[in-house]
Amino acid sequence: MLSAPARIALRTARVLSLLFAVVVGSFWLMTASPVDPVQAYVGADVAAIGPEQREQIVDRWGLDDPPLERFGAWAGNVVTGDLGQSQIFGEPVAVVLADRAAASLALMATAWVLSGVLGFSMGVLAGVRAGTWVDRVLSWWAYLLASAPTFWVGLLLLYLFSVSLGWTPVGGAVPAGSLPGEATMLERLHHLLLPAATLSLVGVSPVLLHTRQAVVEALGSDHVAFARAQGETPWGLVLHRVLRNAAGPAVVLQFATIGELFGGSLLAEQVFTYPGLGEATTQAALRQDVPLLLGIAAVTALIVLAGNAVGRVLGRVVDPRAAVLAA
Amino acid sequence: MSLLVRTTDDLALDTGHEDAVLPGRGRRTRTLAWLGLALLVVLGVVVAAAIVSGTAGDTDLPGRNAGPSLDHPFGTDRLGRDVLERTLVGLRLSLVVGTSAALGSGAIALLLALVAVAGGRVGEAVVTWLVDLFLALPHLVLLILITFALGGGTAAVVLAIAVTHWPRLTLVLTAVAREVAGSDHVAISRGLGHGRAYVARRHLVPHLLPQLSVGTVLMFPHAILHEASLSFLGLGIDPSLPAIGVMLSESMRSLSAGHWWLALLPGLALLVVVKLIDTIGTSARALVDPRSHHL
């Protein structure tokens, strides 16, 4: 068995190797693409530029250099904090990412916390009441949402609350016509409501189902039977004997799904035209902005790997048995 | 852990508690009945799509944007095309995408599971690293990058989906293969001088086939929903083709005009088909591996 520092060092090296591989792999995918970067950049005006100008752009971007050399140049810049220039936004990629991340953070954090708290409480309820109609309704609901496309749920909410009832705005992060700086906190929240509800609604189901399972298992275990024999009350059983068993997997799961929450935000932001990181990703892919796509790939990989690591550590804090089992 | 496509493959939920009263044959019969029914409906979709595919693109401008009626149960879109016919053709396309994912990713998963178990420590380390690598990006972002590398278009999307759905199944198959590899008959076979490739082919593969077939069916929902998501974003199936994602993306334009059927009904149809295939997968697993259903 390895000592704790050695294990941590090994794990860190593994995460770094994965991150490096993601970056190299993404770069390779981008260079392998048959999409002509010059044409993607110039767009419809491509006929208007002559061969000399094209030559200049190719030269400036180093498109004729061997892939390894280009990767070296790009990676060298990344190390110094320069992720390149976004073609569609005309700003450094780092600036675009930071701007968009701020908007997305509010959305994703709300959805993440809501889905975690709701999913866990409903999962505990379903597990404790396993077999009753409460459990049936909650489980059925979770299974149904597990098969529902995120963007479809968003569309339905949009139709119901924005179009029919008119309670919520149709899209955007701030009221139409006002600058991002002018909007009040309340207006921002108002715009955040539906996208966050969409992501929370569909995000509830994995936590709910896993928590339910963990609660059912814990309730059937020997230590619960022993506590019950000692006269522990039903709610005491849940509070003192079951909750912690169920919390471990839920915490790990909730952190492990951060990456997929990002995938969901791509769709929710598209439905609600919410100007966050997800919308930037879609735009970058649609308009073939290679530097921005590379930056997004690197950042999302970092988020996913960090989320997994944090989840694993917290999972061990909540449930020390996990550390014993893994060692 | 996929949130975007939140399947529940790894959870075996004991759905019916009255089953405790009806043990043995009753439950098995009912599972078989569900399986048959779900298969029948999915086949029905394919047949119906074949029948209407000729007329699905027919426009009828005077009758455009009509709500659901007896003539057009799902209504008509902004060009007067019948939404039900387009939905059926779109669902068939989803099934094609699911099939290609099942074939492509199923084969990759089987191969990697064999390498992980028969390939010794190095094989196992390489496979787990590869699985972690493919799980390091949000699946949708990975799909976007691969589609981009392939130049976009329908074929690129189908291929990208086919080659990215193996990590979870690989983990499942590896666990099963490891169990088999530790059993006595494998040890005896090794003792008789059979090589790793022989053991993998003769002793591991037969034991993996049931899990593989169930796992590939349970891959359909992921693949179908990913395709719909990409198409919805405009990065997937060619927008001129009737795919569910494309139709829902178009429906956004007329949502404020109150054309709710364009969004609700195709999405609902997709949800039903995904649930049906999920039912086929979980029912088949309950029959193949009854323990998984009794947790």
Which of A158, A159, A209, A272 is best to mutate for the B interface (most B CBs within 10 A)?
A159
Residues B18-37 have pLDDT tens digits of 444 444 567 788 888 888 88
- Identify the pLDDT of residue B13: 42
Question: What is the domain partition of chain A in residue ranges?
Answer: 4-79, 93-326
CATH 1.10.150.650 fits A93-326, yes or no: no
Q: How many whole angstroms separate alpha carbon B154 and alpha carbon B237?
A: 4
Q: How many whole angstroms separate alpha carbon A152 and alpha carbon A324?
A: 43
Give the whole-number percent of chain A exceeding pLDDT 90.
5
**Which carries the bigger pLDDT value, residue A237 or residue A50?**
A237
Residues B193-233 have pLDDT tens digits of 888 888 888 888 888 888 888 888 888 888 989 999 998 88
Instruction: Using a CB–CB cutoff of 8 Å, tell me whether A265 touches chain B.
Output: no
> How far from chain centre, in Å, is Cα A314?
18
**How large is the ipTM?**
0.84
Which of B1, B2, B3, B94 is best to mutate for the A interface (most A CBs within 10 A)?
B3
Residue of chain A whose Cα is closest to the Cα of B132: A18
DSSP B237: S
Residues A118-127 have pLDDT tens digits of 999 999 999 8
Question: For all residues of chain A together, what is the average pLDDT?
Answer: 82
Mean of pLDDT values over B165-192: 86
Mean of pLDDT values over B84-97: 87
User: What angle (nearest 5°) sits at the alpha carbon of residue B224, between those of residues B220 and B227?
Assistant: 140
Residues A177-216 have pLDDT tens digits of 666 666 677 777 777 888 888 899 888 988 898 888 888 8
- Identify the pLDDT of residue B209: 87
For residue B10, give the 3-state DSSP assignment. Answer: coil
Residues A288-297 have pLDDT tens digits of 888 888 888 9
HSE (side-chain half, CA atoms, 13 Å) at B23: 2
> How far from chain centre, in Å, is Cα A296?
12
Instruction: Using a CB–CB cutoff of 8 Å, tell me whether A221 touches chain B.
Output: no
Confidence of residue B15 (pLDDT cuts 50, 70, 90): very low
Q: How many whole angstroms separate alpha carbon B114 and alpha carbon A307?
A: 30
Instruction: Using a CB–CB cutoff of 8 Å, tell me whether A144 touches chain B.
Output: yes
Q: Is the pLDDT of residue B65 over 80?
A: no
- Identify the pLDDT of residue B57: 72
- Identify the pLDDT of residue A61: 67
Question: For all residues of chain B together, what is the average pLDDT?
Answer: 81
Cβ proximity of A241 and A269 under 8 Å: no
Q: Is the pLDDT of residue A58 over 80?
A: no
Q: How many whole angstroms separate alpha carbon B240 and alpha carbon B237?
A: 8
Residues A228-268 have pLDDT tens digits of 888 888 788 888 888 888 888 888 888 888 888 888 888 98
Mean of pLDDT values over A298-315: 87
